[in-house]
Amino acid sequence: WFLWVALVLSRMAGVRVDFGLLLEPLGFIKVLEWVFSILVFATCGGFQGETTLLVSCKGVVNKTVTAAFAYPFRLNTVVLSAPDPKHCGGTWSDIYLVGNFSSSAQFFVMLAVLAFLYCIAALVVYVGYKHVYQQSSKLPLTDLAITVITAFLWMVSTFAWAKALADIKVSTGASIILGTESCKAPGTTCWFVSVTSMRTLNVSVVFGLLNIVLWGGNVWFVYKDTNLHNQSNRISQSP
């Protein structure tokens, strides 16, 4: 939608828009980068889940206790409240999940948002101002620098998020019972029931890896439009 509005404004300003450039490697890869950046923050940023225990204690039989968690995964603020108002006869203390994974999650999603915005700007330049891009020496070099930096950041953020996701699965899984003192109290028994499927978060990691490939591979195509490539060609062709 943002891209469509930008292109319409460019058209109204009398700029010649050539959509055929989107079929060239430089434009086509940028479209893919734009799409996969959307998929990253759609699969990670919108996640909501809960983990569930079944508790039996003094005066309580098979009571369901849940803890809801969501992006940005500050699990240390998520609590498993007591199964009854009397806190199992005073033997139950509220349980907080372990870990704060907001830095990795927010870094991953924020990079996707910034990549999304940059792809829109780059596509508008490619399609509406290609002649300016080709005649300028600074624009291709700037594009190259941003592409290299973004490829590196995708690698760092994806690996950091993959590690955080593995820890989130541990913190919301059956291991909750092992680290819960309230479940070890005399007369209290806890069973792990379920945790929301994290398939969409697994998919977000896959999209992150695809972004590494896309941005890393696009470095070459952006480099070909710079003076650096033209100079190297002249040097190689000189006697």
Output the pLDDT for position 21. 62
Residue 79 to residue 96: CA distance in whole angstroms: 4
- pTM, rounded to two decimals: 0.83
Residues 88-136 have pLDDT tens digits of 888 888 888 889 999 999 999 999 999 999 998 888 887 777 777 777 7
Q: For the chain, give the percent of residues with pLDDT over 70.
A: 85
Lowest mean pLDDT among 69-83, 161-175, 215-229: 215-229
Output the pLDDT for position 83. 85
Phi, psi dihedral angles at 194 (to 5 degrees): -165, 165
Residue given tokens 């590494």 in the structure block:
212
Highest mean pLDDT among 64-68, 89-93, 95-99, 153-157 belongs to: 153-157
pLDDT surpasses 60 at 238: no
Strand 48-57: give its sheet, edge to edge.
Answer: 60-70, 48-57, 189-195
Q: Peptide bond before 72: cis, by omega within 30 degrees of 0?
A: yes
For 166, residues 6+ apart whose C-beta sits below 8 A from its C-beta are none
Section 68-74 average pLDDT: 92
Residue given tokens 């009854």 in the structure block:
84
Ramachandran sector of residue 188 (left: φ over 0; alpha: ψ -120 to 50; beta: rest): beta
| E strand or H helix that includes residue 220 | helix 199-223
Q: Enumerate helices (H) and strands (E) in the chain, giving the number of each.
A: 9, 5
Residue 41 corresponds to which tokens in the numbers above? 């923050």
Q: Which 3 state secondary structure label does DSSP give 59?
A: coil
Q: Are 128 and 20 in contact, with CB atoms under 8 Å apart? A: no
Residue given tokens 């592409």 in the structure block:
147
Q: What does pLDDT average to over the chain?
A: 83
Amino acid 51 reads T
Output the pLDDT for position 195. 92
Angle, vertex CA 151, rays to CA 236 and CA 36, nearest 5:
120
Strand stretches in the chain, DSSP E: 48-57, 60-70, 79-80, 95-96, 189-195
A 10 A CB-CB count for 97 gives: 21
Strand stretches in 77-235, DSSP E: 79-80, 95-96, 189-195
Output the pLDDT for position 131. 73
| E strand or H helix that includes residue 26 | helix 25-44
Residue 34 to residue 219: CA distance in whole angstroms: 15
